[in-house]
């Protein structure tokens, strides 16, 4: 069994991004810029946003962080997003999810132009991915494709099972694997006999938010297992995979923490740079 280190893969990509940023600055006279909007005081969301801002600084991007108290009128936030959408010096706009209750997530996200949708959540970007003509792809599944690539294993023809069908992780993950010529099955909470699918799979990606859900007897020997889950149990971070049981059966497995997590923000930085290039090269 070999661990796939998201930390190491992510560090390599960030080093390349810092170099590409220097080229970008030479060419366009400024660094790419990412604007992040956060509403409310959810501690996990604030940690994610702080890490995104730190990530920008690490590779030399400019970042703008706009914090709103829970209760701020939705139209105030909407008009700020509209101003960012028109601001030519801003390349990426991200609204940290989930928003507190009472805000219309769909409406606020719809104000982000496709060209600045660095999360890859817009209907156009989602549609382009499913047409195998991707523009900006959701960061977590995109990061997982880099992790799979880092193993050197040929993906073509592999049986892949994705557990979880969220719009942000499970579905785009399934599309990326399909686009990479895997045969893909998507399982979810209504799947009957889920282990029958996972036991046959060469690649299992688990993204459900249930601590230690995937057990040793649910995977075949030599499988590649990717654990997307982030669960807090007794103050510790635990994935969706029962690592101690599953790892001995795998050819490759991602740990939690240090697997998928570090890749997500790195992909956000990569998406910001390509969004900036696309807009400025037009
Ligand atoms: P989500 O929107 O809550 O979706 C969860 C999915 O899991 C749903 O499709 C649900 O099925 C399915 N599910 C729930 N319980 C299940 C069960 N017992 N058996 C089979 N399927 C089940 O979650 P998400 O946003 O995709 O995130 C999933 C996990 O990944 C969470 O732990 C989250 O914190 C983590 N995450 C990590 C990163 C990272 O950077 N590492 C990024 C994003 C998310 P139904 O559709 O039938 O309800």
Instruction: For residue 204, give the CATH number of its domain.
Output: 3.40.50.720
Q: Clarify whether residues 156 and 253 are in a common domain.
A: yes
Give the dihedral of Cα atoms 235, 236, 241, 245; nearest 10 deg: -120
The confidence score (pLDDT) of residue 204 equals 99
In angstroms, the first-to-last Cα distance of the chain is 46
Would residue 52 show up in a list of annotated catalytic residues for this protein?
A: yes
Would residue 91 show up in a list of annotated catalytic residues for this protein?
A: no
Residue reference for tokens 């959810």: 42
Atom of ligand 1 nearest to the CA of 256: 41
Owning domain of residue 161? 139-261
Q: What is the CATH number of the domain that holds 64?
A: 3.40.50.10860
- Structural domain contains residue 20: no
Q: Clarify whether residues 148 and 221 are in a common domain.
A: yes
* Ligand 1, pocket-test mutation among 6, 49, 166, most atoms within 8 A of CB: 166
pLDDT in tens, 141-182: 999 999 999 999 999 999 999 999 999 999 999 999 999 999
Q: Clarify whether residues 230 and 143 are in a common domain.
A: yes
- Structural domain contains residue 239: yes
37 lines ligand 1 (CB under 6 A): no
pTM > 0.95: yes or no: yes
The number of folded domains in the chain is 2
- Structural domain contains residue 85: yes
Would residue 119 show up in a list of annotated catalytic residues for this protein?
A: yes
Q: Clarify whether residues 52 and 95 are in a common domain.
A: yes
The confidence score (pLDDT) of residue 59 equals 98
189 lines ligand 1 (CB under 6 A): yes
Task: Using the mean position of ligand 1's atoms as its centre, give its distance from the Cα of residue 40 in Å.
Answer: 22
Q: Clarify whether residues 185 and 101 are in a common domain.
A: no
Q: Clarify whether residues 95 and 144 are in a common domain.
A: no
Catalytic residue among 96, 117, 171, 202: 96
- Structural domain contains residue 2: no
pLDDT in tens, 102-156: 999 999 999 999 999 999 999 999 999 999 999 999 999 999 999 999 999 999 9
Model confidence at 190: pLDDT above 90: yes
Atom of ligand 1 nearest to the CA of 169: 26
120 lines ligand 1 (CB under 6 A): no
Residue nearest to atom 1 of ligand 1 (CA): 166
229 lines ligand 1 (CB under 6 A): yes
Helix 261-281 with 43-59: angle, nearest 10 deg: 60
pLDDT level of residue 85 (50, 70, 90 thresholds): very high
Catalytic residue among 91, 116, 117, 119: 119
- Structural domain contains residue 12: no
Atom of ligand 1 nearest to the CA of 260: 41
Task: Using the mean position of ligand 1's atoms as its centre, give its distance from the Cα of residue 135 in Å.
Answer: 24
Q: Clarify whether residues 202 and 249 are in a common domain.
A: yes
Task: Using the mean position of ligand 1's atoms as its centre, give its distance from the Cα of residue 238 in Å.
Answer: 14
Q: Clarify whether residues 201 and 236 are in a common domain.
A: yes
- Structural domain contains residue 242: yes
Q: In the chain, what percentage of residues exceed pLDDT 70?
A: 100
- Measure Cα distances from 245 to 214, 221, 256 in Å: 9, 12, 14
Task: Using the mean position of ligand 1's atoms as its centre, give its distance from the Cα of residue 142 in Å.
Answer: 16
10 lines ligand 1 (CB under 6 A): no
Q: Clarify whether residues 150 and 250 are in a common domain.
A: yes
**Which backbone phi and psi does 10 adopt, to 5 degrees?**
-65, -40
Model confidence at 260: pLDDT above 90: yes
Q: Clarify whether residues 176 and 243 are in a common domain.
A: yes
Please give the Cα distance from 34 to 96 (Å, whole number).
12
Q: Clarify whether residues 144 and 255 are in a common domain.
A: yes
52 lines ligand 1 (CB under 6 A): no
- Structural domain contains residue 4: no
Q: Clarify whether residues 108 and 147 are in a common domain.
A: no
- Structural domain contains residue 37: yes
């Amino acid at each position: 069994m070999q661990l796939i280190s998201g930390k190491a893969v992510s560090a390599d990509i960030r080093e390349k991004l810092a170099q590409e940023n220097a080229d970008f600055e030479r060419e366009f006279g400024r660094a790419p810029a990412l604007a992040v909007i956060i509403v409310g005081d959810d501690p996990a969301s604030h940690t994610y946003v702080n890490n995104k801002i730190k990530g920008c600084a690490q590779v030399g991007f400019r970042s703008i962080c706009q914090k709103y108290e829970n209760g701020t009128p939705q139209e105030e936030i909407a008009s700020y997003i509209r101003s960012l959408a028109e601001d030519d010096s801003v390349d990426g706009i991200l609204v940290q999810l989930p928003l507190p209750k009472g805000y219309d997530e769909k409406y606020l996200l719809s104000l982000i132009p496709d060209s600045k949708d660095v999360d890859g959540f817009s209907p156009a970007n989602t549609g382009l991915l499913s047409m195998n003509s991707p523009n900006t792809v959701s960061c977590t599944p995109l990061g997982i494709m880099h992790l799979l690539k880092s193993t050197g294993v040929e993906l073509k023809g592999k049986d892949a099972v994705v557990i979880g069908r969220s719009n942000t992780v499970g579905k785009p993950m399934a599309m990326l694997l399909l686009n990479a010529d895997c045969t893909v099955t998507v399982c979810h909470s209504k799947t009957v006999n889920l282990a029958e699918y996972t036991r046959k799979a060469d690649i299992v990606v688990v993204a459900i938010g249930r601590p230690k859900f995937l057990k040793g007897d649910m995977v075949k020997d030599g499988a590649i297992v990717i654990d997307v889950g982030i669960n807090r149990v007794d103050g510790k971070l635990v994935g969706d995979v029962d690592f101690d049981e599953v790892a001995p059966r795998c050819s490759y497995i991602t740990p939690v923490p240090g697997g998928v997590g570090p890749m997500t923000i790195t992909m956000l930085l990569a998406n910001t740079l390509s969004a900036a290039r696309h807009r400025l090269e037009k």
